A and B are shown apart, each in its own frame.
Chain A
Amino acid sequence: MGKNLLLEHDHVPGIQSYEVYRKHGGYAAVEKALKQLSPEAVVEEVKKSGLRGRGGAGFPTGMKWSFLAKPEGVARYLVCNADESEPGTFKDRYLMERIPHLLVEGMIASSFALGAKSAYIYIRGEYFYVSRILENAIDEAYANGWLGKNILGTGYDLDLYVQVGAGAYICGEETALLESLEGKRGNPRIKPPFPAIAGLYGCPTVVNNVETIAAVVPIVNMGGDEYAKIGIGKSTGTKLISASGHINKPGVYEIELGVPVEEFIYSDEYCGGIKNGKQLKAVVAGGSSVPILPAHLILKTANGEPRLMSYESLADGGFATGTMLGSGGFIVMDEDTSIVKNLWNFSRFYHHESCGQCSPCREGTGWMEKILHRILHGHGKLSDIDLLWDIQGKIEGKTICPLGDAAAWPVAAAIRHFRSEFEEYVKHPEKIKDVQHYYRLNSLSEA
C-alpha cells in the first residue's frame, strides 16, 4: 500500500497557498520544533528516524547533520539541493510545484536544528517557473511570521532565499552546487574539507536534497521512532519514486520502502504494467547513473528472493547482480529497447555534462560516447567492447567528484548484462536498420 507522509495533501485544491496548507496541518512541525524542542532534540529525532539522503547517495541525514562544525561566531548554512538533474528523476519538481510550503516548512525546522540563520534553496535554472512558486510560498511564510526575525517569539531568526542555476547537471554535486551558489563555474571542490567544515563562503554548511528536507516535517510531527517503524530494515520511511519509460502510468509515487519491485511495476496502484502489453526488458532503478538490470535481476535477486524497493534489497548482490536505489528515478524499458542505443544516450549525457576539470572524466566521457556512436553505426569492432570496459574502469574512482563514477557505471552494467547485444551490433551491422542521421554526437558548440 502507498503510504503518504509527503504527498498526503498533494491533490487538495489550493494546497499551494499558505491558508490551505496551514488548514491541513501545515507548519505544525515548525511550531513543535521551535516551541517544544531544542535544536539538539530535532537532530536527535532525525537520527532516530533513520532518514537517509534522498538525493542519491543514501547517507544517514542525522549523521550528516551531526558532522556540522559549530565554531563560535561563524555563520552556518543550510542549503537545499533542488538541482534535480539526474535523468529519470522528477520527484522534487513535483513536490515543490504541488506543495511548496512543505519544503519551506522543512527548511525552517532543519535550519533551526542546525542553527542556521540563512538558508538557500538552489534550484536548477530550467525549473524557473517552480522557483516562482517557491518564492511565493516564502513570501507567504514571511508574511505569516514563519520566517524573518524572532519567529514565533522564540528569538530564532531565519532568512530563506531561492537561487536559480543555469543548466549544469554537475551542480547537483554538493560542492559544485556551492561553487555555483557563490557565482562561479560549477566545478566540484576537492574534498576534504567537506562542506560540514568549510562549505558556503567557507562556513560550515549542510546540503540536503528537497525530499530529505521535506521528510523532516513528518519526522518532527510523528517523532523519529514512529517514522523508523515505516519501511524495512535500514530503509526507513517513505520514498518518492519517479516512474517513467515504457509503463502505463508514469508519475511520482510515494512508496513505503520495501514494496516489491514486481508490485511496483505491475500493480495498478503504481506503474500499471508495461505499455502496449509488451514484456519488461530492463530497468534503471535509481536514475541514469545506477547500473541497469535485466528483468530477471530487477524482479528477483540472484538468490531468487523477491527484489524490494529499498536501499539494501536493490543493492543486493553488489554491482555484479544488483544496483542502487539512487534518486529513485525508475526508468522502465520494454522488450523493443536497444540497450546499446540507450547506453549511448546516457553516455552522450555524461559527456555533455562533464565539467572538464579533471582529466579522466573530461577526456574519457567523450571517448566512450564516440565508441558507442561508432558501434551504433555499424562501424564497431569486437575489441571496442573490451575497450569500453577498460575506459570506464579507468574513470571510475579516479575523478574529483562522483560524475566519473556516474558515467562509468552505466557502461559497465550494460556490458555486464547485455554483452551479446553489443556483439550483435558489431557482427551484423547489416541488421542495423534504424540508424538515422540524427544520432548526432554531442556538441557543446550548438547554439
Chain B
Amino acid sequence: MPKVTIDGHQIEVPDGTTILQAARMIGGPIVPPAMCYYSTLKTSGGYCRTCIVKVSKGSEKDPRPMPKPVASCRTTVMDGMEVQNITSPEVVEARKGVVEFLLLNHPLDCPICDQAGECHLQDLAYEHGMAKTRYEFERRTFEKIDIGGKIKLHMTRCILCYRCVKVADQVTNSRVHGVMNRGDVAEISTYIENVIENDFSGNVIDVCPVGALTDKTFRFQSRIWNVNPMDAHRDCPKCAGKVTLWMKGDVVARVSARKDKYAEVIDWICNECRFEKKELQDWVIEGPTNIERHSVISQNHYTLKEPSHKPVLNAVDAVDSSSTSNSGN
C-alpha cells in the first residue's frame, strides 16, 4: 500500500487511490476543492482544474517532481509521493486563476439563484477567489430552457463540469442531452427540443455544482436557508427511497437525494420520489438531516455534526465504510 504525504500529512492508502481521495481521507483544509470530480461517477474530473496540486516528489522509485501541476482528482498516488497543496504558493495562485476563469462568464446572479447557499462555485469563489474580476467584456449568455417537465436548464450559469452528462450515461438508461459546440460556446443541450424523460433523470439536479440545473417544482419557492432538511424514506419499487425532505413548515418544498460531506449523492433517487411525493404522508420521517458540509444551511437551525478533521489512520477501513451503494439502474 502506497504512502503519500500531502502538505506534510502522511497517509497510507489502497492502490489506485487518487491524490484527492487521499487528501479527503486526511481531511481538513488540505483537501483540494473539486468542482467537476464526483467520486461515484466514472471518468469524472480533470476538467475544471480547481483541484490542481504540485507533486514535488513523484515517488520513492522516481523522486523527480512532476513538471506541471496535476489534477489531484485524476492522478493516482505512488508510494513515497509528496504533494503540495495549500503549502505551495504557486498552487494557491494557480487556483485563484482557475476560479477567475470559472467566474469569467458566470452571471453572478446569486441573489436570484436557487442554488445560492448550497452553490459550490459560491463557496469556491469565497474561499479561493480574488476580490474583483478583471474581465471587462460582455458575458456569454444562453436562453433558459426546460429539459423535461420538471428540470430547468440555465446554461448561462453552467461551468461545464460534465457531471450531468455522466449521470445520464451511467445512471439513466438513455442519454438525450450532451455537450454541443466547442470552446467557450460549448453548451449542455439536447440540441433539438427534446425532453429528458427517464426515471432517474432528476439526479442531474443533485450533481450540478451550480444553479444550471434546478428543480422546477422548487424554483423560487424558498431560499435554501429557510427550509429545514429532514431525512426520510419510503418503500420505493424503483430506488432506495432514502431522501432528504426540505421542509417549509409542514410543506415538503423539495425532495433531494441524501448527500455526504462533499455534497455527493449517497443513493440516486427516482423521479417519482423526487417530483411526485410531496406530501408528508408519503414519507417516514427519520429526523433532522445532519449537514456535514459547512454551509449556510448548517449555520442556524441544526446541530452540526462534529467534523472529523482528524487524520484517518486506517485508511482501508475508511474506504470500506465510505463506499456507498449505487442504486441506479
Residues of A whose CB lies within 8 Å of any CB of B are 168, 185, 190, 192, 351-360, 362-367, 370, 387, 394, 397-400, 444-445
Contacts and interface: CB of A to CB of B under 8 A. Distances in A.
A362 B46 contact: no
In the A-B complex, the 8 residue pairs with the smallest Cβ-Cβ separation, listed nearest first, are A394-B97, A356-B186, A363-B101, A190-B46, A397-B68, A354-B183, A363-B104, A356-B183
Contacts of B74: 190
Contacts of A444: 181-183, 185
B52 interface: yes
B159 interface: yes
Contacts of A185: 179, 182
Given A190-B46, A355-B183, A445-B185, A367 B135 contact: yes
Interface range, B side: 20 to 34
Interface in B63-79: 67-69, 71, 74, 76
20 contacts: A185-B182, A190-B45, A190-B46, A192-B76, A353-B183, A355-B183, A356-B183, A356-B185, A357-B47, A359-B47, A359-B48, A359-B159, A359-B160, A362-B183, A363-B105, A394-B94, A394-B98, A397-B67, A398-B49, A399-B49
Contact of B182 (A355, A358, A364): A355
Contacts of A356: 160, 179, 181-186
B167 to A, nearest CB: 18
B94 A354 contact: no
Contacts of A353: 183
Nearest to B90: A397
A354 B184 CA distance: 8
B52 A398 contact: yes
Given A190-B46, A394-B94, 19 more contacts: A168-B182, A185-B179, A190-B45, A351-B183, A353-B183, A354-B182, A355-B182, A356-B182, A359-B159, A360-B97, A367-B135, A394-B98, A394-B100, A397-B67, A398-B49, A398-B52, A398-B68, A400-B71, A444-B182
Contacts of B102: 359, 363
A445 B183 CA distance: 11
Contact of A359 (B98, B134, B179, B185): B98
Nearest to A189: B46
A444 B68 CA distance: 30
B62 to A, nearest CB: 13
Contacts of B135: 367
- Residue among A357, A387, A400 with the most chain B CB within 10 A? A357
A352 B101 contact: no
Contact of A400 (B46, B101, B159, B182): B46
A340 B123 CA distance: 38
A47 to B, nearest CB: 22
A304 B31 CA distance: 50
Contacts of A357: 47, 160
A357 to B, nearest CB: 6
Contacts of A398: 49, 52, 68-69, 94, 97-98
A360 B69 contact: no
A367 B183 CA distance: 12
A365 B185 contact: no
Nearest to B100: A394
Given A185-B179, A363-B102, A364-B101, A358 B184 contact: no
| Residue of B46, B47, B134, B182 with highest tally of chain A CB at under 10 A | B182
